[in-house]
Amino acid sequence: MSVHRLLAAALTTAVALGLAACGSGSSTATRSRPTTAAKAGSPATPAAGATGVLRPGRVPPPVDRHNVYAADAAGRLSPVVQGDPARVYVPNTKSATVDVVSQKTFKVVDHFAVGALPQHVTPSWDLRTLWVTNDQGNSLTPIDPRTGHHGRPVPVTDPYNLYFTADGRRAIVVAEAHRELDFRSPHTMRLMHALPTPQCPGVDHMDYTADGRRALVSCEFGGRMIVVDLMRERVIKTIDLRAGAAPQDVKLSPDGRTFYVADMMSNGVWRIDAATMRKDGFVRTGMGAHGLYPSRDAKVLYVSNRGEGSISLISFRTRRPIKKWHLAGGGSPDMGGVSADGRILWLTGRYNGVLYAISTRTGRLLHRITVGDGPHGAAVWPQPGRYSIGHTGILR
């Protein structure tokens, strides 16, 4: 481990310990008073170039203007994560635990308790910390991916999901039950600005435009999407899908022109034009369309159809389905990610208490690994890319 990493890890751990101590003695996390500070996008220390370790301050320039996932190609690991062991971190919502699975042996190598209802495991912007979002536990549990050590939880209100602005200046805690997006300091998690989203019941997932300036956010219980200006931290548009829609995961196409939105109740994926933020069609995939993951070569989008135990493949070139894989024996594929070499798609089995390892070459189920109860947003680690904008690992 480098001196730089040791210092950063020590600082992060110290901050987490300090905050946890301040929050001890109370069963409910306290909300910090928003402080006056420059918002995301304000001038600050410039980031590094397309290679090497980045510093927060501005959105890093693209590696390839025609492919937002160019830095995510197979094996293209940042120096920050090259020593991290290959693991899958699985949050078990009903068990209030995390199972750690080795990508080499396909066995559980660690298991520990976290706060109530852990929903996702999210890589930090600087790739140095994995955060477990303990939704009903009102806390975030930090994990050092280099050592696997998990620290004391940091008090945070209602963290269903977690994202980071593309410039690294803010964490965005998705407070689903409170219907708001909480912009926080990315290391201390101190609240800087609470953005109410009353028009977005079930606010839960998002992805950003190629320039990192706007977010398309799903409203699971409202059948709509909202567009958030990340520079000014305000909602600027609402996009209705259809009555009864339940939008879930969101992913941008490699060319940056189209957002794909999984809709669990419409059994497919909506296309949203990233420039006009208007609906641009619907692609039927399968029952309970839920998670979205681009392949390492940025040619296809994997869609987990949780209600029927299948994975659909959508071609980014034609924008149409080209193949469907059915899990042997059925299942409930939910969320996860693609291995660093691009060979395995890892997905949790939400209602089966398992983690699936699926060949991206053949679609064959390689392993079905028993984990805790209600596994949800697993993080596959390490992943290629320069920085993380959140969820289970959206790297650019």
Q: What is the mean pLDDT of the chain?
A: 90
3-class secondary-structure state, position 283? strand
Q: What is the pLDDT of residue 171?
A: 98
Q: How many CB atoms lie within 10 A of CB 106?
A: 15
Q: What is the pLDDT of residue 14?
A: 42
Residue with the larger pLDDT of the pair 200 and 5? 200
Whether pLDDT at 248 is above 70: yes
Q: What is the pLDDT of residue 54?
A: 84
The two structure tokens encoding residue 139: 């806390």
In the block, which residue shows the tokens 């500070």?
Answer: 37
Residues 22-37 have pLDDT tens digits of 333 333 343 333 333 3
Q: What is the pLDDT of residue 394?
A: 98
Q: What percent of the chain has pLDDT over 90?
A: 85
Q: How confident is the model at residue 52 (pLDDT cuts 50, 70, 90)?
A: low
Length of the chain: 396
Q: What is the pLDDT of residue 19?
A: 37
Q: How many CB atoms lie within 10 A of CB 76?
A: 17
Q: What is the pLDDT of residue 283?
A: 97
Q: What is the pLDDT of residue 22?
A: 37
What's the N-to-C CA distance of the chain in angstroms? Answer: 24
Residues 132-185 have pLDDT tens digits of 999 999 999 999 999 999 999 999 999 999 999 999 999 999 999 999 999 999
Cα 285 from Cα 267, distance rounded (Å):
6
* CATH class entry, domain 3-26+35-381: mainly beta
Contact 110, 121 (CB under 8 A): no
Contact 72, 383 (CB under 8 A): yes
Q: How confident is the model at residue 57 (pLDDT cuts 50, 70, 90)?
A: confident
Whether pLDDT at 2 is above 70: no
pTM for the predicted model, two decimal places: 0.87
User: Among candidates 211, 213, 225, which has minimal Cα distance to 260?
Assistant: 225
Cis previous bond, 382, omega within 30: yes
**Helices H, strands E: what count in the chain?**
1, 28
Q: What is the pLDDT of residue 34?
A: 39
Contact 49, 61 (CB under 8 A): yes
In the block, which residue shows the tokens 């000014």?
Answer: 232
Q: What is the pLDDT of residue 311?
A: 98
Residues 349-384 have pLDDT tens digits of 999 999 999 999 999 999 999 999 999 999 999 999
Q: What is the pLDDT of residue 366?
A: 98
Whether pLDDT at 338 is above 70: yes
User: Among candidates 266, 369, 269, which has minimal Cα distance to 313?
Assistant: 269
Sign of the CA dihedral with 246 first, then 250, 255, and 256 last: positive
